Amino acid sequence: MSSDRVTFELEHCRLRPFAEGDQSAVVRHANDWAVARWLRDRFPHPYTPADADEWVHYASTALLDSVFAIDIDGEAVGAVGLTVGTDVFRRSAEVGYWLGRAHWGRGLAPAALTAISDYALNDLAMLRLFAGVYAGNERSGRVLAKAGYTLEGVRQAAAVKAGQVLDEHIWVKLAASLPTSDAQVTPQEFAIGPGPVSDPAEPSVGPSVPPIGP
């Protein structure tokens, strides 16, 4: 792994970019309805080796520094990541995460989410981080609470998953101080004037569609 990539050394795991060779571990941990049921439909179920191939290729090229494997002893046992908004939402990011069931209940997800939230707020100058959690996913709500997020509201009947209409609980974490103007707007962006100032097809970090969750 190249040393200029963002990685995080945590107490019980490491966050690092996905890389070729992760496919079999990804299938092992992702091919589980207990995981997939809480994520978007683009997280396939069943999860096949071809799905893992596609994911590892995408994540190890397009998603560098925004989506990370949760690594235990060299094995990718889950993922955590950010999708930075575009246009007027460029200082907001959606967080997403999942973890193989064999590793649940050890506080790994809260630690991973805390690390990438600090990174997003401190290094990427995000102002607002958010996650949408399907009603009933109490574990994920606990993860967010432990990582310092608060429940902002409920979007009623927002999602349809596995034939069920579900409310979506929106959890947020804001920057410690919220500016009233965007100090990061460049002179060139000012020159463009009102309207879209960044190309939605090319977000600064990650894709416009969150790859891993909720």
- Contacting ligand COA (CB under 6 A), which of 15, 108, 129, 205? 108
Residues 38-77 close enough to bind ligand COA by CB under 6 A: 38-39
CA dist 59 and 24 (Å) reads 15
Q: Rounded distance, CA 154 to CA 67, Å?
A: 26
Given candidates 7, 40, 110, 182, which one binds ligand COA under the rule CB under 6 A?
A: 110
What's the closest the beta carbon of residue 43 comes to ligand COA, in angstroms? 9
How many other β-carbons are positioned within 10 Å of the β-carbon of residue 10?
15
**Residues 190, 114: Cα–Cα separation, whole Å:** 34
Type and span of the H or E element at 187: helix 187-192
DSSP state of 161: E
Q: Which range of residues in 14-22, 83-91, 106-114, 193-201 is near ligand COA by CB under 6 A?
A: 106-114
Residues 118-137 that bind ligand COA (CB under 6 A): 131, 133, 137
- And the tokens for 122? 């401190």
For residue 201, count CB atoms less than 10 angstroms from its CB and return exposed for 0-12, middle for 13-18, buried for 19 or more: exposed
Q: Is 197 or 211 the residue whose CB approaches ligand COA more closely?
A: 211
Residue 132 beta carbon to ligand COA: minimum distance, rounded to whole angstroms: 7
Scanning 45-53, 100-108, 148-156, 199-207 for contacts with ligand COA by CB under 6 A, the matching segment is 100-108
Beta carbon of residue 7, minimum distance to ligand COA (angstroms, whole number): 19
Q: Minimum CB separation from ligand COA for residue 213, in Å?
A: 4
Task: Please identify, using beta-carbon distances, which residue of 168 and 197 lies nearer to ligand COA.
Answer: 168
Binding-site member from 25, 27, 35, 67 for ligand COA (CB under 6 A):
35
DSSP 33-81: HHHHTTS-TTS-SS--HHHHHHHHHHHTTTTTTTEEEEEETTEEEEEEE
Site map 143..162 versus ligand COA, x via CB under 6 A: x--x----------------
Q: Quote the radius of gyration of the chain (alpha carbons, Å).
A: 17
User: Cβ(77)–Cβ(18) under 8 Å?
Assistant: no
Tell the smallest beta-carbon distance from residue 4 to ligand COA (Å). 28
Positions that interact with ligand COA (CB under 6 A): 35, 38-39, 97-99, 104-110, 131, 133, 137, 139-140, 142-143, 146, 213-214
